[in-house]
Structure 1
Amino acid sequence: MTTPTGTVELTEIVFPAEANHYGTLFGGNALQLMAKAAFLAARGAAQRDVVMAGVTDVRFLAPVPVGHVLTLRAWVSRIGRSSLTVCVNGLAATLGSPQDEVLKGIFEMVAVDGKGRPVAITNTYVNQETA
């Protein structure tokens, strides 16, 4: 997988506190991490505060066991008047093993002003690569 220009990358290790009763990353915690990556990518592209407006699609492709390192890559694939679409991919690995794609999602973010109201994005950068 190539890394699109302007990609935000977060790396986390899955500890028991983030796991479910099967010893793998709890889905709610995975969503929280993906949302954080989406927020950082959108905020960087818009150069303003953003909020999440929706999640178009999230896929849990494989379980992420405790002790695995999870790398989340997020990039903006579309910028509208005040909204942005952010693609997030999650890759997991343990020491000495290749990374496997385990998470995938598309997040819709909206640029907001100090009162939380939608505001126009003046930055015209958008990455044409998609998930």
Structure 2
Amino acid sequence: MTTPQGTTELHELVLPVMANHHGTLFAGQGLQLMAKAAFLAARGLAQREVVMAGVTGVDFMSPIPVGYSLTLRAWVSRVGSSSMTVCVSGHTEAPAAPPEEALKGVFEMVAVDGNGRPAVIESRYMKQESRS
């Protein structure tokens, strides 16, 4: 099965080195994981390098204890000429516990050229959309 262009899914195990003094995922680590998922989804759609331009919102709904697994799903929800909006959702999984949405965020990403300047997104996705 192939992943649609502009989407990605990452699986992480929350280890002690990622935790705060409460034994749960440190928020900074959570942001880093969400940013990585957003980057991979945006680069997959743009088919070129991307950078983060901003974060329009992040919510941490519940703590994620050490030992839990975290599944991050990222998808491109808006595509402009060089920018994209990427939504990221994180769900926890643990033995004998139902999956639960624990964090989510919205990231603004920009496709860039070799000089780090904004570049036009010319992906297969965009070409398919323009034919419709």
Aligned length: 123
Runs of 4+ in 1 over 6 A off after TM superposition: none
Q: Call closer, same or farther: CA 1:68–1:40 in 2, change over 3 Å.
A: same
Question: What is the CA RMSD across the aligned residues, in angstroms?
Answer: 1.4
Larger Rg: 2
Q: TM-score, normalised by structure 2?
A: 0.89
Matched, 1:39 2:39: yes
Query: Matched residues, percent identical?
Result: 64
Q: Quote the residue 2:63 is aligned against.
A: 63
Residues in 1 aligned to 2:94 and 2:123: alpha-carbon distance in whole angstroms: 38
More helix by share: 2
Deviation at 1:5, TM superposition (A): 4.7
Deviations 1:56-114 (A, max 9, x none): 00000100000000000000000001000000000001123221000010000000001
The residue type paired with residue 119 of structure 2 is V
CA deviation digits over 1:1-29, x for unaligned, max 9?
xxx95430000000110000000000000
**Helix, strand or coil for the counterpart of 2:98?**
coil
* 2:50 alignment partner in structure 1: 50
Which shifted more, 11-20 or 90-99? Answer: 90-99
Amino acid corresponding to residue 9 of structure 2 in structure 1: E
Secondary structure of the residue aligned to 1:125 is helix
- In the alignment, structure 2 segments of 5+ residues that lack a partner are 127-132
Distance 1:110 1:49 in 2: 9
Amino acid in the other structure paired with 1:74: A
Which amino acid in the other structure matches residue 23 of structure 2? G
Alignment-derived partner of residue 9 in structure 2: 9
Q: Which runs of 5+ in 1 are unaligned?
A: 127-131
2:72 counterpart letter in structure 1: L
Measured in 2, the distance between the counterparts of 1:124 and 1:106 equals: 23
For 1:111 and 1:20, locate their aligned partners in 2 and report how far apart those are by CA, in whole Å.
34
Say yes or no: does 1:106 pair with 2:112.
Answer: no
SS in 2 for 1:99: strand
Deviation string, structure 1 residues 99-130 (Cα, Å, up to 9, x no partner): 1000010000000001111001112637xxxx
Specify the alignment match of 2:85 in structure 1: 85
